[in-house]
């Protein structure tokens, strides 16, 4: 457009008339937007618009050009276009004149873009609570903007964007659009489409022209986003949840944690015995956070195959996480969050701290999921339901529930939850349990973390089937942490050497919260060589440092009140505290800063910026330490006495009790008296604490001493024996033993330690996963025992795992004493360092398991050498899970001394089988068991065992690649036995009809036969049933699970139930028709049938 066609000048009077008309058409709040869209600068708009008066006069509507021309037809433009979603063509034309300054164009384009962006978030509450967080505006900035532009929410939102742009130094619309997209906000499209006609452009064209050239004229273009409000809120909420989860998952300077599958087999879960006996179920390998749910799914599949029960497949999406106090459960949760966000960047992620849940107030599922998230989302039924529907459809949703043991509920989690729908409001307990049993969000991945006590009496339907146990810091992680705190490599080595000199302290380094207190203490006190007396002493040292640090304002007066608050919290299961609790106890917040963290509360869907906050202790262990400090130092003797019995009876006080014994340490008491001169009756309280411990000593006589079912007896009836073993186990009693030992170790009281040692039964069974501090405390007691004790470490069916230096500590203690270890059953333990000690102790051992312990051929050669040299008779030797190719010639020398030998998954070769088979056939005595499962075996190798099969009570050949032809000679020899073979496992071998025909010739001479997953058809089954019919006695057990013979096979099996006492038909494609046939036939015999 040329200058000849410039718009004519308009008189001030005419302009004034236009203004009067416009005032009737435009709301006061829209004046700033109107002016900006005309191209006025922000400074000009600020002068034009005040809180009390709208001033729009001819001066302010002049374009800022040299000639001061006025815009014509102003009122018409306003009335028709200016506040619609379309760019105004007439205004664009006027601005296209070459006499318009570029700054006006830039102002105009930026204003249109910002207001367009604001239209994507129409709700001010939602914008303020969500978008401003993503823009990283602080509370002071928000407060100032709201004050300056009070009553005009559109102006407030505009200035929030403007403040962010200035902070980020975004000078063009293109840069603004890119920055918005980078923080995952919906930015208007600024792409440049083709012009509809020469000399015209779309609104996006105008955006693109920013900082380049004068604006060109534009045609009307409808660029309004079609996305709905609910979709926008859904997207924004997802992004905010991810942003919050990222903040939670900040694991800077965190060292890797060791976590393993926790085994917990109940009678109800025990079904397919073949899987439990010839394939180890306890998987002690380290499970990294990124593989958590893959491992859960894998383990679930294995469990489903081995169980006769109907299982809920969605349970593979749920994982439980447990571990002792301070072991790193929350940190592991953060690792899971971090890896999930990295691999699923567009998923819903929810982190729930149970301490934030009010179990007394109803809520819907979305409120429950967002309880710990700073979201500011305004709950509305329609939007809530839409969001929940999307979450429900997604398989990428992650829900992490942390701190179950901190739930403020009455009782435990044993109550059965009522069912509920996705959109119902229910009590949080009901929502939590329905999430865990997968009635709610069945496809979502869920991780729930807690100390062990919360899972003790858990509703079985809701308890995770896959449980992970955090074992804390490995030796490598401890060294890495030591490196982080040390200034030089030399200092690091010096610290590690000093720690090694104090084994009672170094045994605690696997617990992260202790390691992060102990290692810095050693770094700071290398020159003074101040010893660490106990873990209570470590916490006291940290307390003293905080009190001396000028950065904090720790006041002993307020500390006393804080310890009372901590005690009340532990007693009432309260782990979060509103600010009025501190006011009630007379506590100034600044004086307790090191101990507390703050969490902003929510109200009506908005983040409360300047309102109520909830506080919690930096770690539950610190709350428990302060509770113990109150009892021992500040509480009156009357208050102390009234609570002490309850404290010793309830498991939730376990950590508090340990701190109490730490305060009974005489040197720690001296420090307490210096720090707290007014400490009340420490000696009297000490006597009460120790008296409570002595009351428990008589109960130690009830501790288990050994597995009452030996291997040879076990296989007489494997299922009945398993139940006996299960009922005999008592982890609670084991836990009590380790707790009492830790008390004595913490107190360093010789009298109490000796009394405890003399109360131990002569024979003890140390079973399960033993942590380093448990072994250290037990050995501390055992070392002062006046009599010799017999220690059975694990049993042949359930080996023990000793983490860290636990094995070395135990074996060294035994080596230096008169105590004996007749049974040493270990699993997933690195024995390379302690193998020489094992060889030294071997003459006193009668049962040995070294499952997946890193054995090598030279180590086995030395082992066999000691066995033969000392003529050691072993009731059980299990070397499974080690790569022992070539071991046969060595074991052959000592097989005559073994009652049972297990070599599962040892990569045995032809020569190994031949050597073992020959030695078995030539020995004078019978063997109760030979298990060669999971080793590939040719027909020739299998035939080599034929001469000695009459000397075996149990033979395990599961998953050995045995074929039907390969069974011919073995079955023929079994048929000639004078006494039936007790147990024969052929599961997971494709033996087909040929193999079944061979088995049919000797089935009468087999008491328990496992043919699970052997590809048996109905034809195979009929041949086997015919042979069973001809028997003159009954079989104890027949396992046919995972053979797909269906109802036809079930109906056929119903005819031979008289001859089969226990039958397993799990996963055989049997419908209710086949199940009914089996149950009807079994009415008379009342035998056990698994799998229907």
Evaluate if residue 465 carries a pLDDT over 90: no
Q: Rounded mean pLDDT of 710-719?
A: 67
- Per cent of the chain over pLDDT 70 is 78
What does the pLDDT read at residue 601?
47
Q: Look-up: residue for tokens 């270890």?
A: 821
Confidence band for 195, pLDDT divided at 50, 70 and 90: very low
pLDDT the model gives residue 732: 52
Q: State how far the Cα of 628 lies from the Cα of 633, in Å rounded to an integer.
A: 8
**C-alpha to C-alpha distance for 85 and 1016, rounded to whole angstroms:** 72
Separation CA 88–CA 722 (nearest Å): 84
pLDDT grade, residue 286 (50/70/90)? confident
Q: Answer whether 802's CB lies under 8 Å from 770's CB.
A: yes
Read off the pLDDT of each residue in 271-290 and give the average, rounded to a whole number.
Answer: 54
pLDDT score for 276 = 36
Half-sphere exposure of residue 724, counting CA atoms within 13 Å on the CB side?
Answer: 15
Q: Quick one: average pLDDT of 711-734?
A: 57
Instruction: Between 300 and 825, name the one with better pLDDT.
Output: 825
At 855, is the secondary structure helix, strand, or coil? coil
> Tell me, what's the pLDDT at 126?
62
Nearest partner of 120 among 268, 261, 3, 223, judged by Cα: 223
pLDDT at 284: 59
Lowest mean pLDDT among 24-28, 112-116, 163-167, 410-414: 24-28
Q: What is the Cα 1017 distance to its own chain's centre? A: 43
Give the model's confidence band at 712: pLDDT under 50 very low, under 70 low, under 90 confident, else very high. Answer: low
- For residue range 644-689, list pLDDT tens digits in order: 988 998 888 989 999 999 999 999 999 999 989 888 899 999 999 9
Which residues are within 8 A (CB) of 560 and not within 5 positions of it... i.e. 6 or more apart? 630, 634
Instruction: Name 603's Cβ contacts closer than 8 Å, sequence gap at least 6.
Output: 611
Beta partners for 753? none
User: Alpha carbon of 972 to those of 292, 763, 996: distances in Å?
Assistant: 48, 46, 13
pLDDT the model gives residue 950:
94
Sheet holding 258-261, edge to edge: 258-261, 466-472, 318-322, 445-450, 398-402, 349-353
What is the C-alpha to C-alpha distance for residues 625 and 170, in angstroms, rounded to an integer? 51
The pair of three-digit structure tokens given for residue 864, joined into one six-digit string: 């066999």
Q: Which pair of tokens denotes residue 109?
A: 């384009």
| Region 152-159 average pLDDT | 81
pLDDT in tens, 218-270: 322 332 233 345 566 777 788 878 887 887 887 666 778 877 776 543 333 33
Residue 93 Cα distances to 115, 240, 318, angstroms = 21, 42, 63
CA–CA distance, 484 with 482 (Å, rounded to integer) = 5
382 burial type by CB count under 10 A (0-12 exposed, 13-18 middle, 19+ buried)? exposed
Asked if 842 and 816 count as a contact pair (C-beta separation under 8 A), the reply is no
- What mean pLDDT value characterizes the chain? 80
Compute the average pLDDT of residues 734-760: 90
Given this model, what pLDDT does residue 592 score?
78
Between residues 602 and 573, which one has the greater pLDDT? 573
Question: Higher model confidence: residue 1068 or residue 588?
Answer: 1068
Mean pLDDT value across residues 987-995 = 93
The reported pLDDT for the residue numbered 1065 is: 93
pLDDT above 60 (res 1006):
yes
Other Cβ atoms closer than 10 A to 51 = 9
What pLDDT score does 314 carry?
A: 83
Q: How far apart are CA 289 and CA 257, in angstroms?
A: 9
Q: Which of 427, 404, 435, 430 is nearest to 417 (CA)?
A: 430
pLDDT at site 305? 61
At residue 651, the pLDDT reads 81
Rounded CA separation 8/15 (Å): 13
pLDDT per residue as tens digits for the range 524-562: 888 777 778 888 998 998 888 887 776 666 667 788 889
Q: What SS3 state is found at 398?
A: strand
Compute the C-alpha angle 992/998/999, nearest 5°: 85
Residues 6+ apart with CB under 8 A from 1002: 971, 972, 974, 975
- Region 942-963: mean pLDDT is 95
The answer to which of 67-81, 200-214, 976-990, 1055-1069 has the lowest mean pLDDT is 200-214
- The pLDDT confidence band at residue 336, using thresholds 50, 70 and 90, is very high
Q: Could you tell me the pLDDT band of residue 113, with boundaries at 50, 70 and 90?
A: confident
**What percentage of the chain exceeds 90 in pLDDT?**
44
Task: State how far the Cα of 636 lies from the Cα of 626, in Å rounded to an integer.
Answer: 16
Do residues 303 and 270 make contact, with C-beta atoms less than 8 angstroms apart?
no
With bands split at pLDDT 50, 70 and 90, how would you rate the model's confidence at 895? very high
Lowest mean pLDDT among 77-91, 535-549, 605-619: 77-91
The more confident residue out of 117 and 363 is 363
> What is the pLDDT at residue 603?
39
Q: Which residue has the tokens 């003890």?
A: 764
List b or e across 220-256, with b for residues whose CB sees 16 or more CB atoms inside 10 angstroms. ebebeeeeeebbbbbbbbbbbbbbbbeebbeeeebbb
Question: How much is the average pLDDT of 73-92?
Answer: 48
Lowest mean pLDDT: which of 172-181, 887-896, 974-983?
Answer: 172-181
Question: From CA 455, how far away is CA 727, in angstroms rounded?
Answer: 19
Residue scoring higher pLDDT (78 or 67):
78
Q: How far apart are CA 281 and CA 263, in angstroms?
A: 8
748-786 pLDDT, tens digit each? 999 999 999 999 999 998 887 888 888 999 999 999 999
Residue 997: pLDDT band (50, 70, 90) is: very high
- For the cut 70, the answer to whether the pLDDT of residue 190 exceeds it is no
Which of 232, 53, 205, 148 lies closest to 158, judged by CA?
148
Give the ranges where 760-844 is alpha helix by DSSP (H).
772-782, 806-815, 835-841
The predicted pLDDT at position 554 comes to 64
Give the mean pLDDT of 428-452. Answer: 94
Q: Picking from 61-65, 310-314, 875-879, which range would have the lowest pLDDT averaged per residue?
A: 61-65
Q: Please tell me the chain's helix, strand, coil percentages from 3-state DSSP, rounded to the nearest 5.
A: 50, 10, 40
Q: What is the mean pLDDT of residues 196-220?
A: 35
pLDDT (average), residues 709-720: 66
Q: Is the pLDDT of residue 39 over 50?
A: yes
- How distant, in Å, are the alpha carbons of 113, 152, 259, 496, 990 from that of 476? 54, 59, 14, 12, 44
Going by C-alpha positions, the residue among 271, 260, 198 that lies closest to residue 469 is 260
- Please tell me the predicted confidence (pLDDT) of residue 491: 92
DSSP code of 70?
B
């Amino acid at each position: 457009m040329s200058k000849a066609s410039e718009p004519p000048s308009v008189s001030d009077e005419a302009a004034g008339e236009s203004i009067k008309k416009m005032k009737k058409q435009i709301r006061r709040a829209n004046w700033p937007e109107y002016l900006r869209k005309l191209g006025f600068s922000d400074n000009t708009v600020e002068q034009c618009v005040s809180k009390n008066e709208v001033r729009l006069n001819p001066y302010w509507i002049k374009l800022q050009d040299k000639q001061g021309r006025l815009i014509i037809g102003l009122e018409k433009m306003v009335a028709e276009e200016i506040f619609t979603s379309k760019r105004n063509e007439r205004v664009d034309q006027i601005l296209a004149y070459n006499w318009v300054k570029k700054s006006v164009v830039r102002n105009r384009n930026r204003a249109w873009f910002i207001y367009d962006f604001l239209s994507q978030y129409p709700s001010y509450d939602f914008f303020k609570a969500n978008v401003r967080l993503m823009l990283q505006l602080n509370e002071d900035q928000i407060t100032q903007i709201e004050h300056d532009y009070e009553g005009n929410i559109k102006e407030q939102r505009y200035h929030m964007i403007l403040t962010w742009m200035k902070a980020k130094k975004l000078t063009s619309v293109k840069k603004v659009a890119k920055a918005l997209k980078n923080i995952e906000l919906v930015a208007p499209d600024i792409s440049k489409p083709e012009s509809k006609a020469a000399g015209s452009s779309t609104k996006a064209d105008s955006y693109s022209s920013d900082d380049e050239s004068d604006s060109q004229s534009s045609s009307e273009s409808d660029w309004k986003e079609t996305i709905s409000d609910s979709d926008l809120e859904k997207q924004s909420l997802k992004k905010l949840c991810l942003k919050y989860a990222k903040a939670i998952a900040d694991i800077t300077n965190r060292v890797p944690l060791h976590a393993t599958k926790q085994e917990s087999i109940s009678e109800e879960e025990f079904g397919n015995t073949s899987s439990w006996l010839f394939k180890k179920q306890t998987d002690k390998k380290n499970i990294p956070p990124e593989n958590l749910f893959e491992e859960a799914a894998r383990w679930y599949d294995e469990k489903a195959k081995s169980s006769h029960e109907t299982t809920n497949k969605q349970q593979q999406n749920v994982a439980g996480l447990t571990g002792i106090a301070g072991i790193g459960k929350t940190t592991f949760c953060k690792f899971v969050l971090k890896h999930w966000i990295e691999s699923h960047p567009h998923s819903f992620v929810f982190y729930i701290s149970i301490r934030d849940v009010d179990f007394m107030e109803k809520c819907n599922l979305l409120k429950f999921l967002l309880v710990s998230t700073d979201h500011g989302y305004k709950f509305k039924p329609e939007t809530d339901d839409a969001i929940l529907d999307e979450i429900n459809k997604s398989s990428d949703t992650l829900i992490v529930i942390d701190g179950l043991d901190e739930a403020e509920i009455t009782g435990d989690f044993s109550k059965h939850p009522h069912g509920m729908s996705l959109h119902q409001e229910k009590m949080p307990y009901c929502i939590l349990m329905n999430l865990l049993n997968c009635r709610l969000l069945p496809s979502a991945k869920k991780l729930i973390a807690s100390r062990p006590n919360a899972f003790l009496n858990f509703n079985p339907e809701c308890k995770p089937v896959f449980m992970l146990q955090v074992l804390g810091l490995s030796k490598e992680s401890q060294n890495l942490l030591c490196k982080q705190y040390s200034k030089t490599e030399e200092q690091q080595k010096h610290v590690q050497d000093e720690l090694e000199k104090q084994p009672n302290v170094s045994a605690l380094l696997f617990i992260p919260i202790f390691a992060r207190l102990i290692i810095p203490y050693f770094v700071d006190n290398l020159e003074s060589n101040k010893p660490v007396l106990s873990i209570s002493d470590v916490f006291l040292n940290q307390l003293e440092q905080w009190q001396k640090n000028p950065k904090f304002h720790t006041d002993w007066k307020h500390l006393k009140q804080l310890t009372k608050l901590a005690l009340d919290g532990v007693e009432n299961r309260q782990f979060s505290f509103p600010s009025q609790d501190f006011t009630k106890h007379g506590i100034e917040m600044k004086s307790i800063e090191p101990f507390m963290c703050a969490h902003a509360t929510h109200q009506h869907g908005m983040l409360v910026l300047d309102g109520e906050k909830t506080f919690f202790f930096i770690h539950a262990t610190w709350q428990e330490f302060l509770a113990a400090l109150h009892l021992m130092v500040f509480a009156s003797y009357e208050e102390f006495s009234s609570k002490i019995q309850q404290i010793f009876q309830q498991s939730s006080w376990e950590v508090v009790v340990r701190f109490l014994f730490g305060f009974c340490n005489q040197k720690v008491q001296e420090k307490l008296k210096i720090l707290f001169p007014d400490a009340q009756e420490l000696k009297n309280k000490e006597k009460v604490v120790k008296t409570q411990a002595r009351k428990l000593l008589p109960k130690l006589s009830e501790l288990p001493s050994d597995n009452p079912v030996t291997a040879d007896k076990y296989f007489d009836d494997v299922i009945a024996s398993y139940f006996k073993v299960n009922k005999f186990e008592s982890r609670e009693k084991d836990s009590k033993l380790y707790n009492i030992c830790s008390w004595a170790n913490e107190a360093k009281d010789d009298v109490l330690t000796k009394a405890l040692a003399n109360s131990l039964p002569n024979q003890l069974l140390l079973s399960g996963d033993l942590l380093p501090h448990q072994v250290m405390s037990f050995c501390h007691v055992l070392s002062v025992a006046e009599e010799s004790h017999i220690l059975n470490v694990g049993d042949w069916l359930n080996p023990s795992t000793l983490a860290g230096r636990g094995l070395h500590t135990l074996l060294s203690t035994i080596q230096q004493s008169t105590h004996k270890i007749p049974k040493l059953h270990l699993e997933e333990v690195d024995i390379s360092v302690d193998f020489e000690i094992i060889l030294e102790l071997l003459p006193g051992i009668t049962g040995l398991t070294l499952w997946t312990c890193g054995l090598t051929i030279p180590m086995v050669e030395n082992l066999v050498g000691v066995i033969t040299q000392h003529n050691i008779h072993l009731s059980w030797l299990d070397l499974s899970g080690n790569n022992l190719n070539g071991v046969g010639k060595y074991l052959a020398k000592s097989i005559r001394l073994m009652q049972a030998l297990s070599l599962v998954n040892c990569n045995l070769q032809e020569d190994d089988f031949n050597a073992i088979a020959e030695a078995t056939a030539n020995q004078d005595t019978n063997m109760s068991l030979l298990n060669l499962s999971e080793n590939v075996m040719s027909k020739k190798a299998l035939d080599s065992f034929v001469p000695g099969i009459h000397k075996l009570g149990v033979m395990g050949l599961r998953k050995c690649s045995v074929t039907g032809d390969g069974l011919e000679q073995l079955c023929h020899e079994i048929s000639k036995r004078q006494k039936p073979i007790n147990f024969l496992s052929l599961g997971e071998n494709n033996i087909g009809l040929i193999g079944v025909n061979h088995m049919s010739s000797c089935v009468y001479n087999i008491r328990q036969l496992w043919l699970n997953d052997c590809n048996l058809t109905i034809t195979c089954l009929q041949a086997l049933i015919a042979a069973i019919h001809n028997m003159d006695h009954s079989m104890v057990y027949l396992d046919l699970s995972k053979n797909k013979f269906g109802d036809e096979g079930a109906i056929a099996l119903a005819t031979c139930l008289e001859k089969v006492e226990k039958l397993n038909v799990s996963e055989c494609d049997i419908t209710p028709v086949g199940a009914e046939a089996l149950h009807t036939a079994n009415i008379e015999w009342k035998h056990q049938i698994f799998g229907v």
